[in-house]
A and B are shown apart, each in its own frame.
Chain A
Amino acid sequence: MLGLMALLAPLPLPFSGVIGWLALSAFGLAMALFLVRVASATYRPLRPWAMNLLALLYMPVLVAEMSTWWRGHQLMRSLSHLILFALVVKLFSLRRERDYWHSLLAIFALFLAAMGTSVHPAIVLYLLTFLFGSLLVLTRFTAFSVLTEHGAPGAVRSRLDLRRFVAAVGAAALLASVPMFALLPRLRQPFLFGPGVGNAGAAAGGSFAGGLHLDTIGSVRTGRSVVLRFAAIGPRIDASGIRFKSATYDRFRRNTWTRGQRIPDQLERAPDGFFRLAGGATGRWLQVWQSKGGRELLLPTDTVALDLWTPALLVDDSGVVTLPVPPSATFEYKLGLRREGGPAALDSRPASSFDLEDSAVTPRMRELAAEVMGDGSARERARRLESYLMREHTYTLELGRRDPANPVEEFLFESRSGHCEYFATSMVLLLRSQGIPARMVSGYLGAEHNRLEGYYMVRQSNAHAWVEALVEGEGWRIFDPTPPSGRPQAGGGGAWQLLSQTYDYLLFRWDRYVLTYSLLDQFDFLVRARDFFSDLRELFGGGDPSPAAAEGAGGAPVAESGASPSPAWQWLVTSLIAVLGLLWLWRARAPWSATLAYRALRADVGQRVERQPESLAPLEVERRVLAFCPSAEPEARRIVKLYLEESFASRRLSDAELAELRAALSAVRKALREAA
């Protein structure tokens, strides 16, 4: 059992990258050898000198690993290797009881490392296996030690029926652990090892903060990981045109977009408690869950208000909003969209010198721009250019061999095909060549609706690039020269999409309610509990409606999935509590006995004739019963006789006598009624 648990313990570690598959394979081989030797009864523990020799041999490996740790190597990897090695040596040298305990300690350490670094929901299976394995080990160990201590034969153990017991206890522990998990105090923000399962990290395009090579988005778009999820508060929305802006870029050097030195402003909360990004009234609200990644918030371009846990935000002059500190897990915020629609956040911001930099523009490109854009207002000229690119060029992710010196020129004049980044880059450079400030924007366009819970998913495949240009008199406006066929589309539906959405639904639930469960959720839970009981009170005796119901009309937004429980649900819970209470009362009642029958007899006589004090002797009670109702003589005498035998002679009544007592009591009651 110990060997099996040791074999199982490090299994998730290679999946989270803590150890390599090679190390796991070596460990697995050692464990297989150990199990074979134990099973074939050829196990011989290593001698102490052999253990010392092995430890000496491992020292260089440990030193090498620790030295690489200073150069950025994972500390977890070194520690895990050390524990694996120590476990193998310990298992091959089991002599005393404490060797078993040391092995268990090492297994537990590996288990903790595996749990702490895993984010996939499949870890639940691992946890369950470990739970039931540990239960089996503990119960068998307990039974074995007790039976051995008392010299009981080994066959007795099979009578204990431990397997069914372990199954029941394991299930009960699982049930009990759910409220325990919910109520354990959270003092820090949730921490995730890595970006989380199914989520895209910063490097995969969550923020594109490090810079944007011309092929970045093309490669990101092939991924299916989810960058963010959002839910509309209120009715469903059309998410096909929603643009989540991640970053803006103004410098194009060596085919890579970078950001100029922009000094962000600190944004404080407005008196209404929200961060105000732009003026204007809020219309729809969205609740957003963004994967752990960079510090940039992915905000729709028409965002005007933001509700987030952080005390302050940073906003640069291109309208990109960043967090003061990088989040440690998936984080959640609410945002209000402009009621009138259209981009809001950057209307009035002035252009910087970076927005006109055209060092990458060749004379040929400048000529093309002048030819295509012609004369007129900046808006008209930009539209002409946008239409030209959309019309004369085709969208493709298959780029083939490109001229590394100037791929944009090749796109414009030779291949005439590329993905959104080529279109947007070309438009920015051509606009700048004609004196119109412009910049490149990376982000996500559109979202996929998940029917199972009603939220929307923005995947890596929704990554997109577009253009912001400063139009005189109107401010910054969005232009998207990518042909509609090349823009991210929602999935086509069908069984595969349903499966994909189901999987994402599970991941979302796991991510939202397990991995990123936080103190705020606990407060939320308490508030909901308070509202629930407040509603219950209202249901049964009137009273004030819950604050949530009061706020629902026009106050703080309430999430679609966070609606307070319906009366039917409340009735169901109340009924369930009532049924459980009745069941408990039924279970807690005293078993039927002669004492109960005698007390019932005394109470009946008390009701019909006069109150019989408890201090009255049983035979006196019997006398009074007979004086009042002589016809009940045999039954009354029988009840008192059995009561005396049970109470004073400690006689255990048989089932037949207990049944007889019921009949006798019933007969006495009937006789008493008739006599009364």
Chain B
Amino acid sequence: MASRRASFDRIRITKVGFWYVLFALVVGLAATNTGNNALYLVEALMLALLAISGFISRRNLAALRVEVAVPEEVYAKQPFSLAVELRSLDRWFVKRLLVVDAGAEGDRRLVPRLGRRGAEELRLGLRFERRGRQRLEAVRVSSVFPLGLIFKSKRHSVDLDVLVLPEIVASAAGRPMAVGRAGEQASRQAGWGHELLTLRELRPGDDPRGIHWKQSARTGRMVYMEREAERDKRLSIVFDNAVGELVGAAAEARFERLVTEAASAAAHHLECGYEVELVTRQGVLPFGRGKAHRLRILEALALIGPCPRQASPLIGRERALEFRPAAGRVAS
């Protein structure tokens, strides 16, 4: 995403600049009071330097194009790297000592030198505290170059909407129980069931726990024992968000903690081969597994919010019968 417009948002005089201006004023007063033209010479040079410093610092931040790229998955309270490409469109001036940042909570990165029409890629560490849609409004490029008299900062507006997924925590509540690994019905798909599906050669990325050591010793090659997945290793996450208006910080924090737990449970179980379903007042995400399904669940949880209290239960009687506590866990 490229910056659309840029504007100066902060111009302030530095400590060195303050002394410089003070000296210039003193020399100016002395020159005016005495009529000494040698002092006028000094004053003229000081003012000329100040003007040129202002011009150069302006040019130093001008004709810059900022492009940012956000990672696919951004989690609340977890740092991520914002890829920033800083490109100079200037054909005449070399940019020096540019400092790039994306907000108060993020990293600041230095670009010591950016050649004419050159580009520099850098990664800014950033962190969002809240889940949901967050706005990355601008990337700021600032500099005190050339003489350190004036600090100028230019705001490159990017206006980027970032969907921040809920925080994933490693709490015990979110981890799959040992019993959860026991399935009841072979699914004829690879998984972590009890039935042997096939024996094959070990591939990179395979779990070392699946190595069939006897066969490996016998054949002289690493043999991997693939088991069948069990279909009913399922987790249904029922998140009843009909809690009415959240009053007070404590209620909000509790709601957020539940979202975090639900997201963590979904993420951990999906990682362990479970099929996971998400049921909320907004709708149902049916059972599924894989990266895309994980993302769908996390996105749904990222956007979930409280809705008005309702008398009817979230899960209907017939639907509730489908859930057997032994087959999975119900989080609510």
| Contact A193-B112, Cβ < 8 Å, known A112-B27, A650-B2 | no
* Complex Cα–Cα for A650 and B30 (A): 56
Q: In the complex, are the beta carbons of A173 and B35 less than 8 A apart? A: no
* A138 to B149 Cα, complex, angstroms: 9
Give the distance in Å from the alpha carbon of A473 to the alpha carbon of B193 in the complex: 145
Interface string of B40-58 (1 = CB under 8 A from A): 1111110111011000100
Bin chain A's interface residue count: 35 or more
| Residues from chain B with Cβ under 8 Å of A172 in the complex | 52
A515 to B97, CA, bound (A): 40
CB of B113 within 8 A of chain A? yes
Q: Which of A55-63, A69-77, A176-184, A455-463 contacts B (4 or more CB under 8 A)?
A: A176-184
Interface-located stretch among A140-148, A349-357, A569-577, A602-610: A140-148
Q: How far is the CA of A38 from the CA of B8 in the complex (A)?
A: 42
Query: Which of A138, A515, A516 touches B148 (beta carbons < 8 Å)?
Result: A138
Q: Is the CB of B36 within 8 A of A193?
A: yes
Would A515 and B146 count as touching, CB distance under 8 A?
Answer: no
* B279 on interface, CB distance cutoff 8 Å: no
Q: Contact: B43 with A108, CB < 8 Å? A: no
Please report the C-alpha to C-alpha distance between residue A285 and residue B97 in the assembled complex, in whole angstroms: 61
The smallest beta-carbon distance between A522 and chain B, in angstroms, is: 11
- When A141-B148, A188-B35 are in contact, do A108 and B23 touch as well, CB less than 8 Å? yes
Query: Does the CB pair B45–A131 fall under 8 Å?
Result: yes
**Residues of B contacting A364 in the complex (Cβ-Cβ under 8 angstroms):** none
B contact residues around A185 at 8 Å (CB) = 32
A105–chain B nearest beta-carbon distance, Å: 8
A152 and B147 CA atoms in complex are apart in Å by 19
Smallest CB separation, B67 vs chain A (Å): 8
B147 CB to closest chain A CB (Å) equals 4
Given A139-B147, A191-B36, A181-B41 contact (CB < 8 Å): yes
Assess A116 versus B41: contact at CB under 8 Å? Given A152-B110, A160-B96: no
How many Cβ-Cβ contacts under 8 Å join chain A to chain B? 142
The interface residues of chain A lying within 8 Å CB-to-CB of B173 are none
Q: Is the CB of B112 within 8 A of A147?
A: yes
Chain B residues closer than 8 Å to A650, beta-carbon distance: 1-2, 67
State the CA gap A169–B27 with chains docked (Å).
21
Main secondary structure of the interface of A (DSSP, over half): helix
What B residues does A557 contact at CB under 8 A? none
Interface of B is mostly: helix
Q: Is A150 an interface residue (CB 8 A)?
A: yes
- Complex CA–CA separation, A173 to B146 (angstroms): 13
State whether B110 touches A147 (Cβ < 8 A).
Answer: yes
Do B52 and A169 touch across chains, with their CB atoms under 8 A apart?
yes
- Per the 8 Å Cβ criterion, residues 25-81 of B in contact with A are 27-28, 30-45, 47-49, 51-52, 56, 67
What 1/0 flags go to B175-204 for Cβ under 8 Å of A? 000000000000000000000000000000
Closest CB of chain A to B252's CB: distance in Å? 37
**A122–chain B nearest beta-carbon distance, Å:** 12
Contact indicator B112/A127 (Cβ below 8 Å): no
Within 8 A of A (CB), among B150-173: none
Q: How far apart are the CA atoms of A159 and B147 in the complex, in Å?
A: 17
Give the distance in Å from the alpha carbon of A188 to the alpha carbon of B38 in the complex.
Answer: 14
Q: Are B147 and A184 in contact, with the CB atoms below 8 A?
A: no
Say yes or no: B31 contacts A152, CB within 8 Å: no
Q: Are A515 and B45 in contact (CB under 8 A)?
A: no
Interface status of B259 (Cβ within 8 A of chain A): no
Interface contact A116-B112, CB-CB below 8 Å: no
A376–B25 alpha-carbon span in the complex (Å): 73
Nearest A residue (CB) for B63: A591
Q: How many whole Å from B5's CB to the nearest CB in chain A?
A: 14
CA of A142 to CA of B30 in the docked complex: distance in angstroms? 28
Contacting residue for B110 out of A112, A146, A181, A193, CB 8 A: A146
B239: CB under 8 A from chain A? no
Residues in B neighbouring A514, C-beta threshold 8 A: 37-38, 41
- CB closest residue in chain B, given A131: B45
14 contacts between A and B (CB under 8 A): A101-B19, A115-B41, A138-B146, A142-B148, A143-B96, A146-B99, A160-B97, A165-B96, A169-B52, A175-B48, A177-B48, A181-B40, A181-B41, A515-B37
Additional A-B contact list (7), CB under 8 Å, known A123-B38, A139-B147, A185-B32: A116-B36, A146-B144, A160-B96, A165-B146, A169-B146, A180-B51, A184-B31
| Chain B residues engaging chain A, CB cutoff 8 angstroms | 1-2, 16, 19, 23, 27-28, 30-45, 47-49, 51-52, 56, 67, 89, 94, 96-97, 99, 108-110, 112-113, 144-149
- The 6 A-B pairs of least Cβ separation, nearest first, read A142-B148, A188-B35, A181-B44, A176-B48, A150-B110, A177-B48
